[in-house]
Structure formats: C-alpha cells, structure tokens
Amino acid sequence: MTASAIRTGPDTSAPSPFRQLLPFWQITLASFLGWFLDAFDQTSLQFTLPDIAKDLGCTLTALGGVLMAQAIGRAIGNTGWGWLSDRYGRRFAFMLGVIWFAVFSAMTGLAHSILFLIVVQFMFGIGFGGEWTASAALLMESVPARTRPMASAIMMSGYEVGYFSANAAQELVLPHYGWRALFFIGLVPALLALFIRIGVKESPVWLRKRAELLDGASPQEKRPRPKFRFDAAAIQAISFMAVLEFQKAAIYTFYPTILRTSHEPALHSIFWPVTLYCIGSLTGKILCGWLAQKFGDLKVMLGALVLIVLTIWPFLNAVSWPALLVSAFVMGGASSGIFALVPHYLSKCFPSETRSFGMGLGYALGSLGQGIASRLIPGMGPTPATLPIAAESLVIGSSLLTAGIAILQPKHLPGAVMEGDEDEQKEGH
C-alpha cells in the first residue's frame, strides 16, 4: 500500500473504530482529558477579556499582546516538548506538560498588572503547547493504524468539551466570584498527571525506535541524535498548520467579545451561542473522523473549509436569535472538524524518530499564526462595529489559502506507515 493511498483512501472494510479503540481506552482518555483541560484554561482567558481589561485598566488591543505572548510560549512549548518527547519519551513529556500549564493557569488569577499577565500567559503557553505535542504523538503511535483518524477526532474533541465547560463556568462563577476564580480552578488538571503515571503506557513505536538507535552501542557511547529533515511533507505540514491556526483564531478568539459587545442589547447572554458552537464542534469532530476513514483527510478538510466561508457572515453578524444559534452550530462543526484530523494528518508527515518534534514544530508555527491573528483583529477592528468585519475578512482569506496548501500533496509521506503497521496489516489478513 502506498503512502498516498493511505492518505486519501483509508480502509473502509474495518469494523467500528470505537470498538477497535476499546483496548486503548487509557491513552485515548488521557489525551482527550489533556486537551479538555488545556481548552478550559485557555478559553477562560477569552471569556474574561472585557473583565480583565476593566480590572487592569487596559484596552483589548493591549490584551491582544497577552494572547500573542501565550502564542509565542506555545511555539516554544511545541518545539521544546517535541525534542523532549523524542529524546526522553512521550509519556514523561505528557505528564510534565500537564503539571506545567496547570500551575501557570492558576497563577493567572493572581495578575494585577498587564506585564505580570503577559509573563504568566507566556509560561502557560509553554505547557499548553508541550502537553499537546507529547500526547498527540503518544496517541497516534499507540493505537492501530486503522483507528488513528477516529482516535485523532476523539482527542481533539476534548477542546470543545473544555470550551463548553469554561462557558458554563463563566456563566456560574464569573457573576459571583469574578474572573480570577476561573483561573484558580485551572490547578485541578495537575491530577491528570497521576492517571498518566499509573494508567498510560509508553509509545511502542518510541520504545522500538529507541532500541534500534541504541542497538550495539556501548554504555559509554552517546545516544545518536536523529536529524530533522525539511522535506516536502514537513514543509507542507508546517505551512498548513500556520495558516489553519491563524484561521481558527480569527473565527473564535474574539467571538465571546463580539457577542458581548456588538450584539447588545438584543443579546443578554453568550451562553447559548457558545454552547451551540461547542455542540456543533463536538459533533463535527466525530463526524469528520468517521468520514475521513471512508473518504480520506483531504476531501473532508476541503468540504469543511467551504462551509466555513459560507457561514462566517451569519456567525458574526446574524441579527436574529435563530440565525445566530444555527450559524454557531454549523461553524463549530466545520471549523473544529478540520482540527479533528490534525494529529493524524501531522503524524503521517514525519518519520518516527523525529515525529514529535515535527508535529510540535508544525503546531508551533500555527501558534504564532494564532498570535498574529489575535493582534491583527483588534487592530483592524478597534470598535464593536468593525471587530466582526476584521475577523470575517481574515477568515475568508486564510480559508482559501489553507485549501490551496492542503491540495498540494507531497508524493511521499515518511510517517504514513509506522513501525508495527506491517504486522497489523498481516494480522488483518
């Protein structure tokens, strides 16, 4: 089977992917929970931007600098944890990332100046990016090849559950206890590290590659260091992520702010639009994971991008309550559905010995793209009337660019067949 066949034409004769993933429930659950907790902590900042601006006496544009600092931290965490994960193991890096982002999320609640907030969110971003990089590589290398699209979708759906939980928390906690309490809750994720330590095994692919690298080497010899290669697959993956993260940031970073400012006084609560967005996102991720097993990543991604372009105007500008809720559901499904395939998509673009670093690098540049969007949008739309227009124009432009990059498929995908996949294919026959 060729790499291109694996990418665009997955096996359609396999039984239910959910049933196939049951023996791997610990790593699937841990990856889901890691992304869920990441999302809760990150989106708590988005929900509280107007409150923080009022409390600290700064503008939304200044808080865009906080989001940019977080994005730079994520980029460092993605690449640094990628190297750490390749060098010392996926599980260790996963645990460290969870503890790191939990501590600095809680410290965000102590911020009394914009400078302190920038520093703490920069440090939070390092753990945020590191946790994703390690857990995504660990999951993709631990489950069978035929289940990876669905495993990828389940992991990434954790973000929507975290987003919804943060939405519910801001509805219940924010009016009574203030914005700082939301971040103190962020210390809870440190408990996930115990579950990872007890219930999650190391990646069999990483263990096999480490054994191969050390085979025949004396204890005095240094461990050989694999070199990262910027081939066509790596360049495309990195470019794709940079633009895709920019697009996603333009869609949802200022969505709660737009709901709270641009739609007043007709809109009295942001709970239901964000809830419908989260339900749509969760539905879209599972649906896209299932469709990708039948039709391949590329077709599903392109279809989702078309829906995004068609839905962005009512999503940010709908004047009627039903149109606002419907567009929130559709936008959530389309924009988040693409991200359901990201771990699977990226894992195929890098060889096993440098997979975590490559996936982290792709997400790192994506984080910078997200940070740039967070700075551009309030700069281009400084008023409640112009903020949605700025977001819409950036979403449409970046969606078209993302589609163009996705269509340019490289001929060779170094990670399309991982170590052990051949044995799995033989067992299947």
Alpha-carbon distance of 60 to 372, in angstroms, equals 14
Most confident by average pLDDT, 84-88, 118-122, 382-386: 118-122
Q: How much is the pLDDT for 116?
A: 94
Alpha-carbon distance of 65 to 118, in angstroms, equals 7
pLDDT in tens, 334-385: 998 888 888 888 888 888 888 888 888 887 777 777 778 877 888 888 888 8
pLDDT in tens, 280-321: 988 998 898 888 878 888 899 999 999 999 999 999 988 788
Residues 356/134, Cβ–Cβ less than 8 Å: yes
Alpha-carbon distance of 345 to 197, in angstroms, equals 27
Alpha-carbon distance of 153 to 14, in angstroms, equals 17
User: Coil, strand or helix: which one is 1?
Assistant: coil
Identify the residue whose tokens are 């660019």. 401
Rounded to 5°, the CA angle 101-278-124 comes to 10
pLDDT at position 267 over 60: no
Confidence of residue 424 (pLDDT cuts 50, 70, 90): low
pLDDT at position 428 over 80: no
Alpha-carbon distance of 262 to 272, in angstroms, equals 16
Domains 19-199 and 232-408 share a fold: yes
pLDDT in tens, 180-203: 998 888 777 778 888 888 888 999
pLDDT at position 268 over 80: no
Per-residue pLDDT averaged across 73-86, rounded?
Answer: 87
Per-residue pLDDT averaged across 104-125, rounded?
Answer: 92
Which amino acid is it at 214? L
| Half-sphere exposure for 211 (CA within 13 Å, toward CB) | 7
Alpha-carbon distance of 426 to 429, in angstroms, equals 5
Which amino acid is it at 32? F
User: Coil, strand or helix: which one is 220?
Assistant: coil
Candidates 161, 398, 394, 406; CA nearest to 303 is 406
Q: How much is the pLDDT for 221?
A: 53
* Domain boundaries 19-199, corresponding CATH code: 1.20.1250.20
CA 366 to chain CA mean position, Å: 10
Residues 309/399, Cβ–Cβ less than 8 Å: yes
How many CB atoms lie under 10 A from the CB of residue 249? 27
- The strand ranges marked E within 112-223 are none
Read off the tokens for 76: 């460092």
Q: How much is the pLDDT for 222?
A: 54
Hey, where are the domains in the chain?
19-199, 232-408
CA 49 to chain CA mean position, Å: 21
Alpha-carbon distance of 241 to 246, in angstroms, equals 8
Helices (H) and strands (E) in the chain, counts: 21, 0
More confident residue, 229 or 119: 119
pLDDT at position 269 over 80: no
CA 201 to chain CA mean position, Å: 22
CATH 1.20.1250.20, applies to 232-408: yes
Residues 113/56, Cβ–Cβ less than 8 Å: yes
Q: How much is the pLDDT for 312?
A: 94
The per-residue pLDDT of the chain, averaged, comes to 83
